[in-house]
Copies of this chain bind each other. A is one copy, B any other.
Amino acid sequence: MTIQLISENKVAGGLHQQFEFDSVALKSTTRFAIFLPPQAIQGQSVPVIYWLSGLTCSDENFMQKAGAFKTAAKLGLCIVAPDTSPRGENIPDDTEKSYDFGVGAGFYVNATQKPWATHYHMYDFIVDELPNVIENHFNVTAQRALAGHSMGGHGAMMIGLRNPDCYSSISAFSPICQPSQCPWGIKAFSGYLGADPKEWRAYDSTELIKAIDSNQFVPMLVDQGDKDNFLAEQLTPEPFIDVATQRDYPLTFRMQEGYDHSYYFISSFIDDHLHFHHQHF
């Protein structure tokens, strides 16, 4: 496995880099971005936060807009941002080129339906392949945390709930909390997983949190803006919060007054998320 450097920028005393490599899970070339804090450049192994982005995003949005580097540098945290789907000339896309399905909208599932099943294996990519690549090529420990936004908040929560041994903490901004029940999720899951909603449960955080063993609770922080245009129809956090409360799950859910769905919101609270993950490593 070789990875190829695409770009590099010094930032906050650390390095932002983009790499591409041939993914086994995605059967295609894929790109990721990494922030290496000064400690890693100086030879110290550091823990890794995997950031999963939202609809239409690539590896670039978080790195350009979140304003996370100064605090990540101070705390000695590596951040890895993958793409949100397979991408490239040979990759099937939605024929309508909609923003919420196909390229840029992998939903972090393993697709089972044609034509998606060949390449759209973002679940395996995030859970297995990407951390192996990172841990083999960079100065990092095996300590992992998950964070994400919107579709990527769904990804972080869902993957963290299904793999509690692999992650020390989970955080999300504006996550899609119950994808089986909202228009974005129903469209994506129908397309990638087929028409039977039973097949969707393994990717729905509100279903998963009902069933997880209480010995395997992973601490979770969620920030949600109350002026978020997608809150009522797409993100629907109430059922998730209700189950978490009933089960005494270590969830801190913060409704942030006046904030919307944008990276302006993320940049306002990302430092809290970095401190949260740092505290649990």
With a cutoff of 8 Å between Cβ atoms, the chain B residues found around residue A70 in the complex are 67, 267-268, 271
A225 to chain B, nearest CB (A): 8
CA distance A65 to B69 in the complex (A): 12
Q: With contacts A10-B227, A10-B258, A258-B10 known, is A264 near B65, CB below 8 A?
A: no
Copies of this protein in the assembly total 2
| Contact assessment for B268 and A69 in the assembled complex, using a CB-CB cutoff below 8 Å | yes
Among A13, A265, A268: residue with most chain B CB under 10 A? A268
A262 interfacial by beta-carbon distance below 8 Å: yes
| Contact assessment for B227 and A265 in the assembled complex, using a CB-CB cutoff below 8 Å | no
Interface of A is mostly: mixed
With a cutoff of 8 Å between Cβ atoms, the chain B residues found around residue A16 in the complex are 264
Q: Interface size on A (CB < 8 Å)? A: 23
With a cutoff of 8 Å between Cβ atoms, the chain B residues found around residue A67 in the complex are 67, 69-70, 267
A263 interfacial by beta-carbon distance below 8 Å: yes
Residue of B nearest to A11 (CB): B264
Q: With contacts A64-B65, A70-B67, A268-B69 known, is A259 near B10, CB below 8 A?
A: yes
| Contact assessment for A11 and B268 in the assembled complex, using a CB-CB cutoff below 8 Å | yes
A140 to chain B, nearest CB (A): 21
With a cutoff of 8 Å between Cβ atoms, the chain B residues found around residue A262 in the complex are 9
Residue of B nearest to A71 (CB): B70
| Contact assessment for A264 and B9 in the assembled complex, using a CB-CB cutoff below 8 Å | yes
With a cutoff of 8 Å between Cβ atoms, the chain B residues found around residue A64 in the complex are 64-65, 263
A5 to chain B, nearest CB (A): 14
The interface bits of chain A over 242-281 (1 if a CB of B lies within 8 angstroms of the residue's CB, else 0) are 0000000000000000111011110110010000000000
